Structure 1
């Protein structure tokens, strides 16, 4: 029982009711064409039809842009079917019960057939024909033409709009999410106008059907009245014609309203900032006092002509003249309010009463350094803080060594930190923290000291080496024992430099990439223009450069990078594949960075059997997703870490040489477990260098 109650609650929940509304309405529309309806239900449905048409018209008027009412073509079809089904249902009632009196088909049809046209069938026929002509010839034809032209021009403009979106994306003006939204909006706009072009045919067909239904009902009513109910011809003609006219008018009026709504939607010009149609009418028609004055003058002149309705013309002239004066007065007040400075009362308002604005939204710093209050003298410009000079030097050296200009370091004090603490943030997220003591020195133990120092024991924040904070008087003693001694500002600067180098890929945003391209274009404009954005989007170039930076490769040789990308980009847009091609082109610089001079290259290698196993896993797609067999993965990590540690103990760089197809896999797999290990491919090693394998992994 409880389960049944729960099911009923779910069935009649608001979301389910909204989903069932359209199917139920369509079933009712189809049922009305088949099942006989009593006169009262006809009144209800005719009234509902008029209400729906008025709602559609009001929604169309308050719509700011056509896509805000994207369901309108479907609404047009449903309302047309509703009117036609009501025509069928009312025709059945009129022909069956028309002989009983004027209210045989309900009070709504009786009202439209008697009160609106005065019970005169000739007047009713003329009014019906006029409404049909207005709907069919003027409104529907115009709206259909606008929709047709709009669909054509929208389709023609789609390539240009898509190129504009891609250009904004490549320039970094918008992100991927906004570009996707704009592309969807362009496609939806074309679909909307195409659907409106077809939906306008519904209204035209509805108008033609209304005329045919009128003729058929009159002829059918005469046949039924005279042949079956023995009514005289004149009485039958009057009775059935008035009922038919009422039926036609009660259906034609909503049709006219829907047609006007369709015209308003497709003829809408302007975006969201333009406001609704009513606002546009007022702001664009009645906002110019000069136009109002001229209109009032013309009406006043016409009102003075003998034989004209002087009172009406002069009354409207006075009304337009007053409106011109009022609009001009409002405009002058707005200008005066904008020109005068803010009053002292406004300045004296408390801060909590001020409205929030976009100025309150502070952008997140790309690089930030927050310091406790005891470290403020180190970064205070008025006190000639030593740390400020070091940070400027770090940024300059970073640009020279890595190849692009990183964002400035924004320094601010933070009272929530401990007095001697500092915190380094990247895009608002903490990436490092430590403590520094101005006036003291940090004695770092490199591993070969000859004695111990007493002091504040800690660790070097940059590399985690054992260290001791000592007073200035014990600096020489620390030097004598083999410690590396640095001052407080150097500690912070070294830590900051280490983190900047470690996160170089994160510092290379789209803006920095574009600035780097602009810098290269000063010397090689043709090279850059042929690559971005003609051949390679900016975001793909950014990702390729980030892949290089993630593996500690500088991007100073941008000429080689751009030339390599220009050669391979027409065949692939995969950043991983492009980065691999660039690494091969930069192979000499990569090896030179790891093994300076012309000495032998001491590398670690994989066992041939392990190479085959990894190659098979990569070919099947499993290795790319990191789905290596757990036992194999653990053994590979453990043996590689041990071999890399042996190399570092010998004072040699830990480098693994692997086949080209495995380099990306091994680099990504081993990066976190063995961060000091560098993985290079056979194709990256110059032929002039000699390779010596000092260790085999998986043997």
Structure 2
């Protein structure tokens, strides 16, 4: 333990012992001076802080100083009652304030007690309570604001974590101040009780035990009581004032002195009005100009000086801003910044601005937060920040979604309408504007508010424009998840796994596989909409088979087999048979014979005529399955699954291709079609 830590512990124990052990008078004088110095230091520090969190130890310090002050009260009371003397400090304070007149001393002391207990302590307690309540109530809004700034690209992940941490520390600080202020109130009450004990108890003890006369006993213990009360109440008053300053400090750019001078005197014209009022009081009231004229002239001079400084500062700021703009244009960074390509962008025409404007009721930013959460849960992918901006080159009601600077999807919205998708049969009574649902390409209608209820009763699926955008954006992210996942994103996922499984990651990287090889396997899984959330199982499989092969296609097949339970649950429903289209022996043989082996890996090289025939038969079987209302699914043997997937990638990318090894043994499979050559 360091010396300073040990000294704090010894000090706390010493404070407790002070309440039990009698202290010599000279030591008591030293401790009383230390108490006053500490209180003054705390007050000055609280005035110099820019933010309450810069003095976050204040609640604990408040309790320690309160305990120290109470221990001193106990010690001085013991000496007053036992010896009729509590040291030079107590006696000096009592004589100086009383000034030979005990009644005057008591009145001054009672005024200090009233100011301390009723004004400062009660006010600080109430402010601390309200600040704690408002801080806790404002936490959800602040968190949403941080998430919105993060999604808009105004801040990065590190800055978002810092802001969230600050919000949590503010809540803890104001909650602690709310509790600590109760101790200050109790300390003020204890000071009043100790005052009564010192006065009446000392008066009785002085006559009964020390044999003093009535007048001597009253004079002696009154002076000691006043002195003891002052040496405890003055530090208490300083610390209570510091507590009030801390809890009333809002976010600012400077300390208390800076804020007072910059804000209170920021309007020079108002000083002229105040100066005129003061001068009028001097000339037209019995106060007289002798008292008001110097103050009025001083205010006029201060207003003139401040106005001159403000004009000078404004000119300097304008010149500095112009110089900064010129430097930004000249600097090479101004061109380099244009090379930055955002992973995902959402652009919209000016007619769709209300979607993103929270002041107009737009909740697009909140929906993007939910989209990122949904992708993390379903795909295991941390979607990067989605850049949102308006684009005047688009039509007013048009929006575009870009992946790495390239437009991959477009759509149009009518903000005052609802999108109604047919249940399979059309209702002629539902009037609307014909359109296509952007996410899945289904025929739909834009209907107004009057037809919404009728459309819902007719079986139409009715959604509002923000939901249309959110669904479209979600589907685009899922479809292009393999493009979004780069090496940097993979590094973040690996680091997350390493926190809980360091041995697994250390064995896999870089001894077995590189970060780029892992990224290729994860991207291939995402391309076929296989979630990579179970990274531990994926990394375990790669660690087992990465030493035998470096081919990412082969490794992906091993990983898919390891994730068989997850893949099975993805495509099956409880109690229902899995309807599939199977690949016949002749087609499997043809594919196996068309596989070419190279040093870089293996690929499918089937002749064009056979490929066209396979396409036609696959489309025929898939259409039959779709017409029956089932999801199209191709089932084949493990050895040719990845080659069949390569064959279908260009024309039937959304149709899943599974192997028998990727399905659990207890799954009932129903073949509804066979594809053969």
Flag whether TM exceeds 0.5 (same fold). Answer: yes
**In the alignment, does 2:38 pair up with 1:38?**
no
2:54 aligned with 1:68: yes
- Per-residue deviation, 1:252: 0.1
CA distance 1:677–1:365, change in 2 (3 Å): farther
Task: Identify the residue that residue 58 of structure 1 maps to in structure 2.
Answer: 44
| Distance change in 2, residues 1:123/1:166 (3 Å) | same
1:77: Cα distance to partner? Answer: 0.8
Mean alpha-carbon deviation: is it higher for 161-170 or for 684-693?
684-693
- Aligned equivalent of 1:333, options 312, 320, 328: 312
Write the deviation string for residues 537-587 of structure 1: whole angstroms up to 9, x where unpaired: 99997994447677xxxxxxxxxxxxxxxxxxxxxxxx9999788544599
Q: CA offsets per residue over residues 208-261 of structure 1, 9 Å max, x none?
A: 111110001112212221111111122111101111110110100011111111
Whether contact under 8 Å (1:510, 1:539) holds in the other structure is no
Structure 2 residue corresponding to 1:88, chosen from 61, 74, 92: 74
* Residue of structure 2 in register with 1:173 after alignment: 154
Give 1:353's aligned residue.
none
SS of 1:321's partner is helix
8 Å contact from structure 1 (residues 544, 579) kept in 2: yes
Aligned partner of 1:523 in structure 2 is 411
Q: Quick one: structure 1 residues 218 and 359, their matched pair in 2 at CA, closer, same or farther if it must change by over 3 Å?
A: farther
Aligned partner of 1:210 in structure 2 is: 191
1:662 aligns with 2:562: yes
Report the Cα distance in structure 2 between the residues aligned to 1:69 and 1:675, rounded to whole angstroms. Answer: 62
Alpha-carbon RMSD: 5.0
- For residues 57 and 357 of structure 1, the distance between their equivalents in structure 2, rounded to whole angstroms, comes to 44
User: Match for residue 202 of structure 2?
Assistant: 221
**Residue 64 (structure 2) aligns with:** 78
Query: Shift in Å at residue 177 of structure 1?
Result: 2.3
CA contact (8 A) 1:544 1:578 kept: no
**243 and 540 in structure 1: CA distance in 2 versus 1, 3 angstrom threshold:** farther
Structure 1 equivalent of residue 492 of structure 2 = none
The equivalent of 1:566 in structure 2 is none
The verdict on how the C-alpha distance between 1:299 and 1:690 changes in structure 2, with shifts beyond 3 A counting, is: closer
Distance in 2, matches of 1:182 and 1:539, equals: 30
TM-score (norm 1): 0.55
Alignment equivalent of 1:49, drawn from 24, 35, 40: 35
How much has 1:307 moved relative to structure 2? Answer: 3.1
Query: Aligned residue for 1:270?
Result: 251
Match of 1:312 in 2: 291
Q: Distance in 1 between matches of 2:97 and 2:121?
A: 24
Residues 635-673 of structure 1, C-alpha deviations (whole Å, 9 max, x = no match): x33xx76xx9xxxxxxxx9897457343799xxxxxxxx
1:300, 1:314 within 8 Å by CA — same for their partners in 2?
Answer: yes
What is aligned with 2:499? none
- 5+ residue gaps, structure 2: 347-382, 390-400, 414-437, 440-464, 488-518, 566-598, 605-621, 623-630, 643-677
Whether contact under 8 Å (2:152, 2:387) holds in the other structure is: no
d(CA) in 2 for partners of 1:656 and 1:277? 63
Q: Is 1:128–1:249's contact at 8 Å kept on the other side of the alignment?
A: yes
User: Contact between 1:171 and 1:538, CA under 8 Å: does it hold in 2?
Assistant: no
SS of residue paired to 1:308: coil
Relative to structure 1, the CA distance from residue 88 to residue 509 in structure 2 (aligned partners, 3 Å threshold; closer, same or farther) is: closer
CA contact (8 A) 1:121 1:241 kept: yes
2:135 maps to what in 1?
154
1:10-55 superposed Cα distances (whole Å, 9 cap, x missing partner): x6xxxx1332343222112111111111111111111111111111
For the 8 Å contact 1:121–1:238, the answer to whether it is kept is yes
Distance in 2, matches of 1:78 and 1:278, equals 27
Paired residue for 1:374?
Answer: none
Residue 198 (1) aligns with residue 179 (2): yes
How far apart are the structure 2 equivalents of 1:532 and 1:23?
61
User: Which residues in structure 2 correspond to 1:219-298 (within 5 Å)?
Assistant: 219-271=200-252, 273=253, 275-298=254-277
Measure the CA separation in 2 of the matches of 1:403 and 1:115.
Answer: 75
Q: Give 1:181 deviation, angstroms.
A: 1.7
Separation in 2, partners of 1:55, 1:141: 22
Q: Which residue of 1 aligns with 2:303?
A: 324
Q: Whole-Å Cα distance in 2 between the matches of residues 83 and 539 of structure 1?
A: 66
Q: Map 1:608-647 to 2 at 5 A.
A: 624-625=539-540, 628=543, 634=547, 636-637=548-549
- Rounded Cα–Cα distance in structure 1 between residues aligned with 2:79 and 2:35: 18
Q: Check the 8 A contact 1:80/1:203 in 2, yes or no.
A: yes
Aligned to 2:446: none
Tell me the CA shift for residue 404 of structure 1.
Answer: 9.3
CA deviation digits over 1:447-476, x for unaligned, max 9?
Answer: xxxxxxxxxxxxxxxxxxxxxxxxxxxxxx
**Is the CA contact (8 Å cut-off) linking 2:127 and 2:247 kept in structure 1?**
yes
- Alignment deviations for residues 156-212 of structure 1 (CA, whole Å, 9 cap, x no partner): 111111112222223333232222221121121112111111111111111111111
Residue 105 of structure 2 aligns to a residue whose secondary structure is helix
Structure 1 residues 261 and 341: alpha-carbon distance in aligned structure 2, compared to 1, 3 A threshold:
closer
Q: Distance in 1 between matches of 2:305 and 2:75?
A: 54
Q: TM-score, normalised by structure 2?
A: 0.57
Structure 2 match to 1:124: 105
Report the count of equivalent residues: 454
Q: 5 Å matches for 1:511-550?
A: 516=402, 522-523=410-411, 529-530=466-467, 544-546=481-483
Partner of 2:5: 19
Asked whether the 8 Å contact 1:119–1:242 carries over to 2, the reply is no
TM-superposition CA deviations, 1:361-402 (whole Å, max 9, x none): 948959999xxxxxxxxxxxxxxxxxxxxxxxxx9xxx9xx9
Pair 166,534 (structure 1): closer, same or farther in 2 beyond 3 Å: farther
Secondary structure of the residue aligned to 1:35 is coil
Question: Structure 1 residues 158, 687: CA separation in 2 closer, same or farther (over 3 Å shift)?
Answer: closer
Contact 1:63 1:276 in 2 (8 A): yes
CA distance in 2, matches of 1:695, 1:530: 36
Instruction: Output the CA distance in 1 between the equivalents of 2:537 and 2:638.
Output: 31
SS for the counterpart of 1:516 is strand
Q: Is contact 1:166-1:179 (8 Å) kept?
A: yes
Provide Cα deviations, 1:430-449, integer angstroms capped at 9, x if missing partner: xxxxxxxxxxxxxxxxxxxx
